[in-house]
């Protein structure tokens, strides 16, 4: 099973140097999220595929038409927080405030109750019970916010949260210890390794039952701006192999059957 997901955020929504700037500078930066997300939508349309879009609340606030377009195309909408803070750096009440802002913005635009969540940077841990309790309290039933290297329990993992349950689809690192199935890691691995990791014989991590593809609009953008908000490394990573990323992804989509995280949950439950 290969789950296809996109985290809809702009090129400047990273964790890099966040101690030096806050969201108030974002409005001043040239936005690339709309044109790059449209390219993703066109690709999915061409391949007749549906995916899960975890959308940042800030992006929804500033680009409501883009959210409407994703929703109208029949894709699944999930929440990706409002401010893109690393989840475990927040106090519980700030985490909830941020979550509610994101959920209500997405609900206002789509009319849907949002039930899927991904924390920025896969920053939740299974031991963060307080966060799962807050997610469940606010209607989240499917989550993909944890990164795992080894796990005794076979993922997906059922997390109990009071009288509710959340199905957690962690990001599983490969046998080489890297989360190769999306983002900068996907772009940075050499083609030969890429082919090997995505050959159907390879099982990543322990007890892999699925692959989790996770991409951002910036992964496909050779025109990501250079910014002195970031280190040289981040500037390099924001540009590395962005010109070939979509073709690489397309080659995987042509050889793997994919599904949304909602469809994966339904299959898991049956
Ligand atoms: Zn993100």
Q: How far is the CA of 10 from the centre of ligand 1 (A)?
A: 9
Give the Å distance between the CA of 183 and the centre of ligand 1: 10
- Domain extents in the chain: 2-16+25-269
Q: What is the pTM of this model?
A: 0.94
Query: Residue 155: what pLDDT?
Result: 85
Residues 6 or more apart from 88 whose CB is under 8 A from it? 123, 124, 125, 128, 131
Are residues 79 and 104 in contact, defined by beta-carbon separation less than 8 angstroms? no
Cα 195 to averaged position of ligand 1 atoms, centre (Å): 26
d(CA 43, CA 4): 13
> Is residue 22 over pLDDT 80?
no
Q: What was the pLDDT predicted at 177?
A: 75
pLDDT at 189 over 90: no
At the top level of CATH, the class of 2-16+25-269 is alpha beta
What digits encode the pLDDT tens for the residues 71-129? 999 999 999 999 999 998 999 999 999 999 999 999 999 999 999 999 999 999 999 99
Beta carbons within 8 Å of 83's beta carbon, 6+ residues apart = 23, 57, 58, 98
Q: What is the mean pLDDT of the chain?
A: 91
C-alpha 92 to ligand 1 mean position (Å): 19
Ion ligand 1 — residues with CB < 5 Å: 7, 9, 120
Measured in Å, residue 197 CA sits from the centre of ligand 1 at 23
Give distance in angstroms: CA of 270 to centre of ligand 1. Answer: 30
Q: Give all strands (DSSP E) within 35-162, no chain letters.
A: 52-55, 76-79, 116-117, 142-143, 147-148, 157-161
* Cα 263–Cα 269–Cα 270 angle in degrees, nearest 5: 95
CA of 8 to the centre of ligand 1 (A): 7
What spacing in Å lies between the alpha carbon of 84 and ligand 1's midpoint? 6
Share of the chain above pLDDT 70, in %: 93
Confidence of residue 257 (pLDDT cuts 50, 70, 90): very high
Which pLDDT score is estimated for 208? 57
Q: How far is the CA of 236 from the centre of ligand 1 (A)?
A: 18
- Mean pLDDT on 230-243: 89
């Amino acid at each position: 099973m290969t789950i296809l997901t996109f985290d809809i955020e702009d090129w400047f929504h990273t964790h890099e140097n966040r101690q030096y700037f806050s969201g108030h500078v974002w409005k001043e930066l040239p936005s690339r999220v709309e044109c790059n997300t449209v390219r993703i939508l066109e690709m999915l349309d061409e391949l007749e595929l549906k995916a899960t879009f975890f959308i940042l609340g800030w992006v929804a606030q500033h680009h409501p038409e883009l959210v409407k377009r994703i929703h109208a195309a029949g894709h699944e909408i999930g929440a990706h927080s409002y401010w893109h803070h690393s989840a475990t750096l927040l106090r519980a009440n700030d985490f909830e405030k941020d979550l509610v802002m994101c959920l209500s913005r997405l609900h206002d635009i789509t009319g849907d109750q949002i039930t899927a969540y991904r924390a920025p940077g896969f920053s939740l841990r299974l031991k963060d019970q307080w966060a799962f309790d807050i997610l469940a309290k606010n209607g989240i039933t499917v989550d993909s916010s944890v990164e795992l290297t080894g796990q005794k329990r076979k993922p997906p993992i059922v997390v109990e949260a009071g009288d509710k349950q959340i199905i957690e689809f962690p990001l599983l690192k490969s046998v080489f210890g890297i989360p190769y199935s999306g983002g900068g890691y996907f772009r940075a691995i050499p083609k030969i390794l890429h082919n090997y990791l995505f050959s159907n014989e390879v099982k990543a991590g322990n007890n892999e039952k699925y692959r989790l593809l996770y991409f951002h609009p910036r992964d496909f953008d050779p025109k990501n701006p250079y910014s002195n908000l970031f280190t040289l490394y981040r500037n390099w990573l924001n540009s590395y192999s962005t010109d070939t990323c979509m073709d690489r992804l397309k080659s995987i989509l042509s050889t793997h059957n994919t599904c949304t995280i909602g469809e994966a949950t339904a299959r898991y439950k049956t």
